[in-house]
Amino acid sequence: MNTTQQILTRLRHGGRAELSELVALLKAQGEDCNLIYEAADRMRQEQMGPEVFLRGIIEFSNICKNRCLYCGISIKNKDVKRYRMSDDEIINTAHNATKWGCGTVVLQSGEDPNFSTDQMCTLLRRIKAETGLAVTLSIGIQPRFDLVKLQEAGCDRYLLRFETSHSESFAKIHPDESFERRGQCLQDLRELGFQVGSGFMIGLPGATLEMIAQDILYTTQLKLDMIGCGPFLSHPGTELADEPLLDDISVYYKTIALVRLLNPRAHIPATTAFDALEADGRNNILTRGANIFMPNLTPGKYRVFYQLYPNKPCVDEDGAACAMCVRGRLASLNRPLGSGPGHSILNKAKGKSRLAGSCPSVKGLT
Ligand code: SF4
């Protein structure tokens, strides 16, 4: 048994990995690389089953007050036409989600200061009452008292990526935010009993394999219900326009596989950015640890204006086409569609106790 096999065997039996071992796995090539993918796929099958759950994304506003350096819809990008969907448009799209096989809708936006918490609560109540769907919010950092209101209105899950666990890198690319505030918001979400999703961008400018391995370990320490990671793809309308991809494309895939091996019971989506990285990128990820697919349900007329990164797939399609496409993909992979909301299996008894630990300090990782 070679070194890669030895580490993978330990991970498959619930063991941990040292930073240096993760770096070695991220460097793996050829047959060793395939061994990592196979181990992650087997772990996904054993722990999460064959089903793929659909979480339909509704990008309801591309208005954002922030200037994240990598983001195509940051307030600094004056070339983007801004939109905010009406409440009725959002509700209608949620109704469509039920027809298209989604058990969850993900309401996603920039940090839009004019979309009030009370308005969001009204929307949540209508979606829950009219569709019964699970709802995930991805609307940026919120104060704890607003999170309480959102939860009371029916929000099941919250997605807030930390993007990088390296405080210096975080500060460089997020001029309007602090890592500590994001960590506090994640901590509030945990204590309030939300199902919590987070994750990071793979291959940010200056990232070394050691830094990516640290991000994997940090993610694991958070004990997340859902882990969403995607490649950094430079957007031409941003200051990071000229930053290249990693030399070794397989690092993006190995990262997801390692996240699965270290987080056997977390939901892991095949994030859309993988299709922008490579044709069939999301299919590849579904065979390397992922068990969630997030079709874009945003009405076609808005999609082109919500491009956090370039070459975003499916911007000229509508929700029905995306739903059909997903079914074709899953059939080609011989994976059944999951039914129901696909809630966290880390936390069947929703409540404060499940994630009672505090967020690990980033200091130890920088
Ligand atoms: S990443 Fe999010 S918070 Fe940052 S500028 Fe883009 S939409 Fe706004």
Half-sphere exposure of 276 (CA within 13 A, CB side): 19
Instruction: Give the residue whose CA is nearest to atom 4 of ligand 1.
Output: 68
State yes or no: pLDDT of 363 exceeds 80.
no
Determine, yes or no, domain membership for 62.
Answer: yes
Determine, yes or no, domain membership for 10.
Answer: no
Q: Given ligand 1 and candidates 71, 172, 174, which is best to mutate, with the most ligand atoms within 8 Å of its CB? A: 71
pLDDT at 309: 75
Determine, yes or no, domain membership for 7.
Answer: no
Determine, yes or no, domain membership for 272.
Answer: yes
Query: Of 116-125, 193-202, 354-363, which range is least confident?
Result: 354-363
pLDDT at 266: 98
Would you say the CB of residue 289 lies under 6 angstroms from ligand 1?
no
Determine, yes or no, domain membership for 250.
Answer: yes
At 302-349, the pLDDT tens digits run 988 888 877 777 777 777 788 788 889 999 999 999 999 999 998 654
pLDDT at 349: 45
* Residue type at 289 in one-letter notation: G
Q: Got the DSSP string for 128-170?
A: HHHH--EEEEE-----HHHHHHHHHTT--EEE---B-S-HHHH
Determine, yes or no, domain membership for 36.
Answer: yes
Structural domain boundaries enclosing 151: 17-361
At 194-249, the pLDDT tens digits run 999 999 999 999 999 999 999 999 999 999 999 999 999 999 999 999 999 999 99
Determine, yes or no, domain membership for 93.
Answer: yes
Would you say the CB of residue 163 lies under 6 angstroms from ligand 1?
no
User: How many domains in the chain?
Assistant: 1
State yes or no: pLDDT of 86 exceeds 60.
yes
* CATH code of the domain containing 165: 3.20.20.70
Determine, yes or no, domain membership for 221.
Answer: yes
pTM of the model: 0.94
